[in-house]
Amino acid sequence: MSEDSKVSDNHGFFQPLLALRGAIGGVLMGLANLVPGISGGTMLLAAGIYPQFIRAIAEVTTFKFRPRSVLVLGSVVLAAGLAILLLAGSVKDLVVDHRWIMYSLFIGLTLGGVPVVWTMIRKSTPAVWGGVVVGFLAMAALALLQQSGSSEVGGEASTPWMLGLAGMAGASAMILPGVSGGYLLLVLGQYIPILTGIDHFKEALKGGAWSDAISVGLSLGLPVGIGVLVGIVVVSNLLRFLLKRFEKATLGVLLGLLLGAVVGLWPFQQGEAPALGDTVKGQIVTEATLSDLDPEDYPTVFFSPTAKHVGLSVGLIFLGFLGTLAISRFGQDSEAVESDEQGQPYRTS
């Protein structure tokens, strides 16, 4: 590595604004992982830190530890972990109790990433618009599939292979903008088994049942963990390759995913207690089980908004949109183009 490259890397490590933007993106990513239908990758894209994050993962997973990559990856992961740990309960309650308000805000946050991606595209081409169509249709179809409830029908058995595939899907959803991990787990039929296994693991630890905890860890945690690791390595490096070789088409797909994510966030919906005989998370609702259901487990239904609902929703969408724009502008690097290992330009902001 040349002296100039070393100086550039070291300079990149001591960039507090870059670290702060990564931390903001990480907090949004952590919050997104707590909310059904929201993609962590979308929030990173909206925060303007997504290309740097993808590059950092690709480099670290290939044992290239540039200071700049370590800074980006560390700030995003640490902030996301803290957000999940500290805010899980609050965000869940807000979404359950005020779903239409939170979804309106999430729509604005998501759409605020559109100008960010468009800036990365710089100039539209047929490849860009083709990618937009593909990404939008794929994400819209996935959102509609989840909303229809058909994703829980005929779920696959929880074999180690299926659990590993679920882990890969979950990891991919963290990286791919617009794709919700919850959607993919539901489609694969592994949403309930994984959440149930996590709950059993917690209870085993609380009760000191170490053998049960180890059993759950080996039967569920190990295959899912391996899947997550493989998913992160494969998807991040594949995205980096695609952004370098097919930049326009890839950015078009990302833009389409971003736009398509909004389909699953139609704000005017709320939780509604199920009727006897309905199926909730794979179980038939009976008189005995109905009282045990938490409001967060209620199926969501659409409602007809009043003029007040519509006005407030539009205001919240606009507020979220402005918030994302502010985040994307904050801490942007003065150096718009970096050089990769071969000295080729790779635009990161």
pLDDT digits (tens, 9 = 90+) for 282-335: 678 777 777 777 776 677 788 899 999 999 999 999 998 887 777 666 545 433
Residue 37 token pair = 């239908």
Provide the pLDDT for residue 342. 40
pLDDT band at 44 (very low <50, low <70, confident <90, very high): confident
What are 284's strand-pairing partners? Answer: 279
Whole-number Å distance between alpha carbons of 167 and 81: 18
* Residue 126 clears pLDDT 90, i.e. is over it: yes
pLDDT tens by residue, 56-95: 887 888 888 888 888 988 999 899 878 876 776 676 677 7
Provide the pLDDT for residue 241. 87
Least confident of 120-129, 194-203, 261-270, 327-336: 327-336
What are 61's strand-pairing partners? Answer: none
* Residue 108 clears pLDDT 60, i.e. is over it: yes
pLDDT tens by residue, 213-257: 888 788 888 888 898 888 888 887 888 788 889 989 998 998 888
pTM of the model: 0.65
Q: What amino acid is encoded at 261 in this protein? A: A
Provide the pLDDT for residue 182. 59
User: Which of residues 186 and 224 earns the better pLDDT score?
Assistant: 224
> If we measure between CA atoms, which residue out of 277, 295, 296, 293 comes closest to residue 285?
277
- Secondary structure string (H, E, C) spanning 281-305: CCEECCHHHHCCCCHHHCCEEECCC
Provide the pLDDT for residue 296. 65
Are 200 and 217 in contact, with CB atoms under 8 Å apart? Answer: no
CA 193, distance to chain mean position in Å, is: 21
What are the sequence ranges of the domains in the chain? 3-268+304-337
Tokens 């169509």 correspond to 133
- What mean pLDDT, rounded, does the chain reach? 75
